[in-house]
Amino acid sequence: MSYKEVYASEIAGEIQPNAVQHNVPAWTIFAMFFIVLPLVSSIMKEKEEGSVFRFHTIPVSYFLQINAKLIVFIIICLIQFFLMLLIGLVLLPMLGLPVLQLGNSHFGILIMALGCAMAAAGFGVLVGSLATTQQQGAILGSLSILIFSAIGGIWVPAYIMPSIMRTISEISPLKWAMDGFYGLFLRGEGFVDILPHFLKLAAFFTVCLLIAIRVQSRKRIG
């Protein structure tokens, strides 16, 4: 079995990714955001076991309480990311598919991976703070990620969507991550070029944490 599509193509002045250049970052981002489920499960388990009530007796902010959990899950996301890169670099070419082109900035790739991991972990903390049961958290987390993926160009590339869908896709953090990796992998962009996408993901992470802290503060007062 062989494939003729080896490089990205250029249509109407825009560089279009081949199957590998789209699917490897797309499914990597999707997998990273799906860490919401185990993160929510961990938070809900603490609530059910009563650990969260002991945390309330500690005179520190919710951010400091959740800090270690965030670091662990961000590291897990980064491990997932680099394993998926290895698949694109080693396994897929063995199957006759094009090798994943990483572009010119390995530092930019690391920064985008970190931003995506932060956004995913922050969103998981937010869902875990809003949910009252593990089942509710699992449904809310999985459904929201599926919606973000559908409109964010994970399953169907955003550039082939109708114009109104391309506009809607801009609200999805997964779309911001995809745009960053497209820039790195297809256009050879560097750290400075993808910085706006990283800052969007970092802002999303910050907003999720601020809302989660606010929710937890209200629950503590209640």
Q: What percent of the chain has pLDDT over 90?
A: 50
pLDDT value for 49: 66
CA geometry: angle 209, 124, 177, nearest 5 deg:
90
Q: pLDDT tens digits for the chain (222 residues)?
A: 444 444 444 443 456 788 888 999 999 999 999 988 888 888 887 766 655 555 555 555 666 677 888 899 999 999 999 999 999 999 999 998 899 988 889 999 999 999 999 999 999 999 988 888 888 888 998 999 999 999 998 988 888 888 899 999 999 999 999 999 999 998 889 999 999 999 999 999 999 999 988 887 776 655
Residues 80, 32 contacting (CB under 8 angstroms): yes
pLDDT value for 61: 61
pLDDT value for 217: 75
| Phi then psi dihedrals of residue 58, to 5 deg | -85, 125
Tell me which residue of 196, 8, 197 sits closest to 102, measured CA to CA. Answer: 8
pLDDT value for 214: 86
pLDDT value for 12: 39
Model pTM score: 0.85
Residues 160, 17 contacting (CB under 8 angstroms): no
pLDDT digits (tens, 9 = 90+) for 143-165: 999 999 999 989 888 888 888 99
